[in-house]
Structure 1
């Protein structure tokens, strides 16, 4: 899978990914609007080109409050995200080229006010999704927000798994669209994110599901 070329659909506003990105950005914007005053931290796993967070921060009034860590394995996507952050003057956005599954990338930022799981969950086994959500109770501060995406036919499990771990639904996309976007708020007490752990293995949607929705990603 060419994960750099995969992002091209984001440039078509009416594409599957273009419409989904608009919803994700809406939820990121809402989470920032509702966040308490003062410094904020954000982390994005498998961040791709960072369009969800960087696209919002570029024009958001809280932009100077944010210290963010974006982790992405594809070097071309990393360069794209770094250039976008620099063009927007987002000095607090750090884009790392590396394995987003490793907890070491996030320990200095956790527990964070905002955790992005966009384009991730659909590429994992159910076991690894649950393991990743377990780690979200360490990645996310009390009162913090997780924004996530998942193809519609698996979305219900994600909501139930999050709620089981103390995340209350703030907003979930309606059933009349083919992709799931959600915003959940953590009500529990965060644990300490341990270093040196692997949260998941990125398998790929096309491997897990036979490429049923080739433009969907996750």
Structure 2
């Protein structure tokens, strides 16, 4: 997969990816609006160019409270995210494997966990594994935002069930006919200790 070319579709306002990004940014803004007073830790797995978070931080009143770590394996995309993050001294961009739990030591449990562009590229077993590990990443009251296409087989309802079985409540799920899939869940449980040395997923396809 040429991820640089793939990301260029974000610049087309008519593309499904562009519309999905707009939906994710709206939900990121809502999550930051809901965040309690004090530091707002954020982690983004497979962050790409970091547009979903960084474009919201540009004018969000809580931007100074956000302490974020964006993890992206592709060096070119990570470099682009790093350039975008220069204006935000509290945003760290890591070039590395986002599936490894070690990447999030010191910043989880987080107020906002971004799992965008992942679930359409991994097996259903790995989706379930990532969902099961989410209580290690998210603090009580925090938000997880995830994406997954709504084409057959539409796993979004099952993903919602998996999150809800792990102590999350559904905040929002995009309509199936929206042309993209975005889900938002709020964690109502008690965070679990981060188990380091885990690999949560491996990419196996190019459909997101």
Q: 1:130 aligns with which of 120, 128, 131?
A: 128
Residues 25 and 52 in structure 1, CA contact (< 8 A), matched pair in contact too: yes
CA distance in 2, matches of 1:138, 1:114: 12
Instruction: Give me the CA root mean square deviation.
Output: 0.9
Q: CA deviation at 1:28?
A: 0.3
Q: What secondary structure, in the 3-state scheme, does the structure 2 residue paired with 1:121 have?
A: coil
- Are residue 203 (structure 1) and residue 201 (structure 2) matched? no
Q: Return 99-108 or 196-205, whichever deviates more.
A: 196-205
**TM-score under structure 2 normalisation?**
0.96
Equivalent residue number for residue 44 of structure 1? 44
1:69 aligns with 2:69: yes
Cα shift at 1:117: 0.4
Q: How many aligned residue pairs are there?
A: 205
- Give the Å deviation of 1:194: 1.4
- Structure 2 unaligned residues grouped into runs of 5+: none
Q: Counterparts of 1:26-175 in structure 2 under 5 Å?
A: 26-86=26-86, 89-152=87-150, 153-175=154-176
2:186 pairs with 1:188? no
What SS does the corresponding residue of 2:76 show, helix, strand or coil? helix
Report the TM-score, using the length of structure 1 for normalisation.
0.92
Q: What's the secondary structure of 1:128's corresponding residue?
A: helix
> 1:190 deviation in Å?
0.7
Q: Which runs of 5+ in 1 are unaligned?
A: 206-216
Tell me the secondary structure at the aligned position of residue 14 of structure 2. Answer: coil
Q: Is the 8 A contact 1:103 1:198 kept in 2?
A: yes
User: Conserved in 1, the CA contact under 8 Å of 2:72 and 2:94?
Assistant: yes
CA contact (8 A) 1:73 1:100 kept: yes
Whether the 8 Å CA contact 1:107–1:194 is kept in 2: the answer is no
Task: Measure how far apart 1:175 and its partner are.
Answer: 2.7
**Cα distance, 1:204 vs structure 2:** 2.3
Q: Distance in 2 between matches of 1:193 and 1:49?
A: 26
Note the alpha carbon deviations across 1:100-121, whole angstroms, 9 max, x for none. 0001100211100000000001
Note the alpha carbon deviations across 1:33-71, whole angstroms, 9 max, x for none: 011011110000011111101111111111110110100
Runs of 4+ in 1 over 4 A off after TM superposition: none
